[in-house]
Structure 1
């Protein structure tokens, strides 16, 4: 079942605003408007309301955050992952029935806090655990077990100490985090009028049956097989405007998958598809991706076998999974293959890869047009 959420998921938006201090896709996207089938003027017009909203809320959110040293102390220095902890906590703490706020049980229910902590640690330590398995959950309740897990991972001592400190002080951290969100969310809501009409328009786009069709056929770079037994809550993402994220929250205390859709992804991707575009810079990326014998062999395997998973592919071409993953990354960047997310297979989420046949058709037509070029 698919449910469209009309309002932004404010706790996640607050963390995404903080991320704008570190990185914003705006400059990268607007510097190559032709890649998305737009002129420079059209691109600037599309982003204007977003820029107005960001201009108002970013300084205020950063000012609020500057006063919460109890939260800032747990951030890591690496820019790309700086706010991962806060996003993990925000996702874990969402109200199950109202995605606009955090669950108040966080402040009073210790068993709920422990389960939240287990989810956060699993996310940070990249552990794939079944939170309905009491034995596995108990491992995250025992400091000695958590220390052993951290020591086995390739993390710096600084990060390990931060996470262990967080683990031991989760109760007080949650209370401070909750208080911080109570300041940030009203700030976002106060200025929401600047972009509210635009958000309504973008929500109507994802209400269209075509949106689900695009998700299923991989038009956004990821094809998704929906499970009729799972609830999918689709929410608009303002500040990660060019992203598409499937957040598996149907374990333990959650019972749904959150599909977080960047507010401009529909227009950026669909405009490009409609105009059947492959730009000069993209053609260079494609040629680079195909300029390796292993990657060329991988593409032919995908065309022959329809879909394959990483270990299967690595074995077939005689390389390690890590090497195969590197090759896959380059093929994905060139949009020659897409990921296929299968919701459940033997009670686990499975990721396959498949050829992007529409992209290959575009490539064929581009070469054909080039062959007909005259001075």
Structure 2
């Protein structure tokens, strides 16, 4: 199957609010930038459907789904709903599309699973909301589309699914869903000590879960070692029928929500290594709070998936997409003036260096466990 991208116009007009980290455009930037590059002709694009409430109760509780629908309709929540379901909080605010937007993400991954029935690759940049819990919103995530992606892939015939998450934050909701499932592999790299402060090295899960917390300053050379010593061997040994990659870009150096130091080369390298390891490949978005770094990263990954090389210099139409972005780091402050490489290039410079302290020791511990597990 020719690689496909699933998107939606709902991401262009919706925002979590003027003070929230997710006030920035992300999916719409990927769509516009990919089209400006000539990488997204009409036959490569699919509009995402919206998952119905009845489909969401396969994993989320009926009470929570109903509360999320009510909150969108009323544009308010009462104290009991806030306490029980964590809706209407600073992290998970009330906003006009608070049900429809995440339901579109779930609909996108469910469509992707159908399209991947006979193999292929699909990118759903609106997916990757990996924190949501069955009865609660959590960490900017109202519905857990990675969970639905794994469930839908299995319903479409993929018995064993490998889920790899390179977001700066641990995928606590996904691990909650599949920690005891022998047919799901979870490999997560994430910044140590960062919210939600789960996924420690000692937290090995009940089933096939490999968590690698990363120290500050973790860079591209570190990730290349982790990829080759942990991520790819674990997935290869698992022999999955499908791979899901959550490619949160908040681990990139310029992102305000982590202290990791990756470039988008790290993401592209993980993607290229994983793609041959299963006949079905689903690429999700995730975190990412600098509009230039997230838009450039996910567009570059789509290009990698679709067989395009990043140009040395963006053409004027693509450059115009990036120059039109506006962002202030704290909300209501002075807009950031992007450095020229943020608007003229797609691929970051390589960000390497000597091994970051602590990475080799943690990797050795997990490698020993991986050999015993495999």
- TM exceeds 0.5? no
Whichever of the two has the greater Rg, that structure is 1
Q: Shorter-chain TM-score: what band?
A: under 0.3
Give the alignment's TM-score, normalised by structure 2: 0.24
